[in-house]
A and B are shown apart, each in its own frame.
Chain A
């Protein structure tokens, strides 16, 4: 059994474990090709000028000028970035905003099953995954540590996703109840996967 906490996920998506994805987008909107540090030099230049002019001009105004430069340099991009994000996020449907995984883990996505599980599985039930088919070689433990399972656990909470092979509900990944050898009390098929009540 792998050490808990040390290896925390299987990364097969476009983002890393904790990256929040904002860095590239905000930087792209703020920084021009030649503007990587020009704004900082300008601000330091204004600061030096303020130090020199402090004998003749009101000091409070000079300090304000220094503090305003970085904001003035970026305000347009900041507001534009905020409005773009606002418009994009406002257009999301409830399912897109709360059920569709925000990260594209290759091969790990079954949104219809997740929507059904939210509707069918009682809040106090336990759920587990039994991956088969193309996931068999990877192993169950590795599958359980995938980002997708972590997303499922979040979406389905307070239902508890457990690591034992037995649970109130099973999610059979790329295999059928017959292949696993379970006799379901009820079962629903979603593509290659099954949601099974035991």
Chain B
């Protein structure tokens, strides 16, 4: 166990060259400082690995430590040559660090003893990681049609590839230690949220809000199921925060780093496509069309290897229904909305969505920060609307799917609301726009 934990820590550090390279290339290196910079570099490294490793797997390269280190070295050299290190970096103090470390520490303690017991974890996600770790060729193990596992061949392999890399660090297929990866991703989201929201929210409410995120029972329990929903939520919400920061401040660096997280989200789970399209529609309201179009094109290009591979191997989305199917089930809509709404006010979600929606509605009604309140409500509505369409189109039956997966597929919207809660609540209570500089005092 101890050797495995050290191995996991080593694998985390092994992501640093890639993460630093990404921060340099996106010119966000100087936007963060101290421990915050190191933490975000590791998170960015994990995101970049999630997006970069699958194409390497298709080419026959296993997601091993040397592969990640070489990729990281290339990114680092390119970053040092073409990137930028300038900027006045955001920091994180000792008190918020301690406040985040306590809930994360308890979750980590739970993680390292929790066995893999979720159906989709062992039948879909972790089995792929196990094959990739053992060097079984992807096409041989699960691209060929078969009645037996692995099923869900149509899911992207960003997360299993990243997991396989960590298993190499651990030194064995120890999925209990691997659970720590999901704790790391939650921590990464908290750090990105701190960096993005700190210019607008003073330390105390921001710390309280992010502790709420880290202590949310739904997120904590779902993180340890080893499903892809929490990783997807962490990556997508990070993308939303960074691109949102670009829309607010106009610094292209944040758009570039946000695009890396969006690409990683798309490499994690198919739901990301609907979520990213929803966010793109909202971001278009910022009317910065050219850079947004360039970023969208770049992110879309990262999905090409998967598209080509799935087309070549005939990996169809057989569990996704047609438009006519959605139309036929339109009568189920009120019940679907009722059930999803019911989930959102359950205590394990700590009221993140209703509270954030309430705060955003206050901003809209007051006429102050209308863009923030309106954009949040629109994004929340679109992401939940996309989820409703997914449930109405599912071939396994709307209510069966809702019952079995509704609570976890709500996590991206819930974590988005929880992450933005400190900003929305602070703005609603302040009642007027405050400059970022006034919060430094």
Contacts and interface: CB of A to CB of B under 8 A. Distances in A.
B305 interface: no
A92 B209 contact: no
A63 B147 contact: no
B78 interface: no
A86 to B, nearest CB: 5
Given A67-B209, A123-B134, A59 B429 contact: yes
Interface in B141-179: 141, 145-154, 175-176
Interface in A1-39: 1-6, 8-9, 15-23, 26-27, 30-31, 35-37, 39
B348 A30 contact: yes
B212 to A, nearest CB: 5
A76 to B, nearest CB: 11
Residue among B117, B130, B426 with max Cβ neighbours from chain A (10 Å) = B117
Say which size band chain B's interface belongs to.
Answer: 35 or more
B109 A86 contact: yes
B298 interface: no
A170 interface: no
A168 interface: no
Interface string A121-156: 001000010000000000001001101011101100
A77 B204 CA distance: 24
A182 interface: no
B400 to A, nearest CB: 7
Contact of B147 (A66, A73, A81, A163): A163
Contact of B127 (A97, A157, A162): A157
A192 interface: no
A19 B215 contact: no
Nearest to A161: B148
A75 interface: yes
Interface stretch (B29-37, B83-91, B402-410): B402-410
A20 B218 CA distance: 11
Contacts of B220: 78, 82
A45 to B, nearest CB: 12
Contact of A26 (B147, B202, B218, B400): B218
**Helix, strand, loop or mixed for chain B's interface?**
helix
B205 A26 contact: no
Interface in B196-247: 202, 204-205, 208-209, 211-212, 215, 217-218, 220-222, 225, 227
B347 interface: yes
Say which size band chain A's interface belongs to.
Answer: 35 or more
A141 B147 contact: yes
Contact of B215 (A51, A74, A97): A74
A86 B113 contact: yes
B261 to A, nearest CB: 24
Interface of A: 1-6, 8-9, 15-23, 26-27, 30-31, 35-37, 39-40, 43-44, 47, 50-51, 54, 59-64, 66-68, 70-71, 73-75, 77-79, 81-82, 85-86, 89-90, 92, 96-98, 102-103, 123, 128, 141, 144-145, 147, 149-151, 153-154, 157-158, 160-163
24 contacts: A2-B147, A4-B146, A4-B153, A5-B318, A16-B400, A18-B118, A18-B119, A20-B118, A20-B221, A22-B225, A37-B345, A43-B351, A44-B355, A47-B359, A50-B429, A60-B204, A62-B429, A67-B422, A82-B106, A89-B113, A149-B149, A150-B119, A154-B122, A157-B134
Please give me the 7 A-B residue pairs with the lowest Cβ-Cβ distance, nearest first: A102-B117, A158-B134, A5-B318, A153-B149, A16-B404, A22-B221, A63-B205
Interface of B: 106-107, 109-110, 113-120, 122-123, 126-127, 130-131, 134-136, 140-141, 145-154, 175-176, 202, 204-205, 208-209, 211-212, 215, 217-218, 220-222, 225, 227, 316-319, 345-348, 350-351, 354-355, 358-359, 362, 395-396, 400, 403-405, 407-408, 421-422, 425-426, 428-431
